[in-house]
């Protein structure tokens, strides 16, 4: 939320990327432009769609729901592939920026946005998406919100539709990172100091460390509702889950994993 509010005070989109770009992609540097930022999404979107088996001739007529779109880094590429893209985010400021980004680099006539005002439900009808996709978002939510949004992804997916959802795995650094993240998020609420802290990368980055969910915590409650469950990980990762076929792709961050499944 705080990073989004910062974006509302900044006039240039490039300035937004330079101050908040780290939130979306760790490769960002101080001089990154919005165009370069979108290019990182342009490379990732076709890679993930292809590897997860989500790319086919029907995409032009399909609807993709993106949970946690941010300022539209990947949304632009999605609008070039799918007939309708419903970009959802907790932060209304980011949604405005997402419209601007897609107007500049994507196909704005294919974009709709949904504000996830309460952080855990999608204001969308059931069975309305061919694909529900989320990247680097659930790790930044409260664990309960991440689990609720995971169920929401399955609810909005049509029977036979797919979910492709990204999570962060546990690591030994979490003993330090998660409590520090919680402390920093509390400090964000302090008037003046909070605004200053959120503008500093190191604190903003710590503040976004929110949860780590195990694959079984995600798959367990949903297993009656999904089939053909795949857990995608980096070859260096050992993450695994019950009822999930493990698949590997070098392009996945070694601290991340994905659950890709078909809705029943
Ligand atoms: C790190 S950014 C990732 C954006 C985009 N997926 C990308 O890869 O560029 C995480 C996004 O998740 C959004 N977010 C965090 N918690 C959320 C929630 N509970 N519901 C919806 N969006 C949320 C944030 O506002 C932010 O835009």
Give percent of the chain with pLDDT exceeding 90. 70
| Residues with C-beta less than 6 Å from any ligand 1 atom | 4, 23-24, 67-70, 73-74, 88-91, 94, 116, 119, 135-137, 140-141, 145, 149
Predicted local confidence at residue 15, as pLDDT:
65
DSSP track, 58-117: GGGG-EEEEES-TTTTTHHHHHHH-SEEEEEES-HHHHHHHHHHHHHHS-GGGEEEEE-T
* Lowest-confidence region among 8-12, 38-42, 239-243: 8-12
What's the total number of domains in the chain? Answer: 1
Looking at residues 5-30, what average pLDDT do you find? 54
Q: How far apart are CA 173 and CA 157, in angstroms?
A: 35
pLDDT one-digit tens code per residue, 77-134: 999 999 999 999 999 999 999 999 999 999 999 999 999 999 999 999 999 999 999 9
Q: Which atom of ligand 1 is nearest to the CA of 44?
A: 8
The pick from 7, 48, 68, 148 for probing ligand 1's pocket by mutation, whose C-beta has the most ligand atoms within 8 angstroms, reads 68
Predicted local confidence at residue 235, as pLDDT:
98
Predicted local confidence at residue 22, as pLDDT:
45
pLDDT one-digit tens code per residue, 36-70: 999 999 999 999 999 999 999 999 999 999 999 99
Domain of 56, in residue numbers: 2-263
Q: How far apart are CA 48 and CA 204, in angstroms?
A: 27
Residues 6+ positions from 156 with CB-CB distance below 8 Å = 65, 122, 124, 125, 126, 127, 128, 129, 132
Looking at residues 174-178, what average pLDDT do you find? 81
The pick from 70, 76, 210, 255 for probing ligand 1's pocket by mutation, whose C-beta has the most ligand atoms within 8 angstroms, reads 70
Global pTM reads 0.88
- Using the predicted structure, report yes or no on whether residue 29 has a pLDDT greater than 80: no
Distance from residue 75's CA to the centre of ligand 1 (Å): 12
- Using the predicted structure, report yes or no on whether residue 201 has a pLDDT greater than 70: yes
Give the angle 203-72-114 at the CA atoms, nearest 5°: 100
Residue 20's CATH number: 3.40.50.150
Give the angle 15-122-111 at the CA atoms, nearest 5°: 50
Q: Whose CA is nearest to atom 16 of ligand 1?
A: 141
Higher pLDDT, 181 or 24: 181
Sheet holding 129-134, edge to edge: 111-115, 84-89, 63-67, 129-134, 157-168, 256-263, 226-233, 245-248
Q: How far apart are CA 23 and CA 137, in angstroms?
A: 10
- Using the predicted structure, report yes or no on whether residue 249 has a pLDDT greater than 50: yes
The answer to whether the Cα torsion of 49, 140, 124, 13 is positive or negative is negative
* Lowest-confidence region among 31-35, 73-77, 114-118, 225-229: 31-35
Q: Quick one: pLDDT band at residue 185, thresholds 50, 70, 90?
A: confident
Q: Whose CA is nearest to atom 4 of ligand 1?
A: 70
- Using the predicted structure, report yes or no on whether residue 135 has a pLDDT greater than 90: yes
């Amino acid at each position: 939320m705080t990073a989004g509010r910062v974006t509302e005070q900044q006039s240039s989109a490039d300035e937004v990327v330079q101050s908040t770009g780290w939130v979306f992609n760790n490769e960002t540097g101080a001089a990154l432009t919005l165009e370069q930022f979108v290019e990182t999404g342009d490379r990732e979107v076709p890679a993930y769609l292809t590897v997860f088996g989500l790319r086919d001739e029907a995409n032009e007529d399909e609807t993709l729901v993106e949970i946690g779109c941010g300022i539209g880094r990947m949304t632009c590429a999605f609008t070039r592939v799918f007939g309708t893209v419903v970009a959802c985010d907790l932060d209304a400021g980011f949604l405005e920026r997402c419209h601007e980004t897609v107007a500049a680099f994507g196909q704005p006539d294919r974009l709709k946005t949904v504000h996830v005002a309460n952080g855990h439900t999608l204001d969308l009808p059931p069975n309305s998406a061919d694909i529900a996709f989320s990247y680097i978002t659930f790790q930044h939510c409260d664990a309960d919100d991440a689990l609720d949004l995971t169920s929401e992804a399955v609810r909005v997916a049509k029977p036979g539709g797919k979910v492709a959802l990204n999570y962060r795995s546990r690591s030994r650094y979490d003993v330090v990172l998660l409590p520090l993240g919680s402390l920093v998020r509390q400090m964000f609420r302090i008037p003046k100091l909070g605004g200053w802290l959120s503008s500093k990368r190191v604190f903003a980055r710590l503040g976004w460390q929110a949860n780590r969910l195990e694959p079984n915590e995600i798959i367990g409650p949903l297993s009656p509702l999904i089939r053909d469950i795949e857990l995608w990980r980096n070859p260096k990762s050992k993450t695994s889950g019950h009822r999930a076929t493990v698949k590997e792709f070098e392009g996945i961050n070694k601290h991340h994993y994905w659950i890709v499944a078909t809705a029943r």
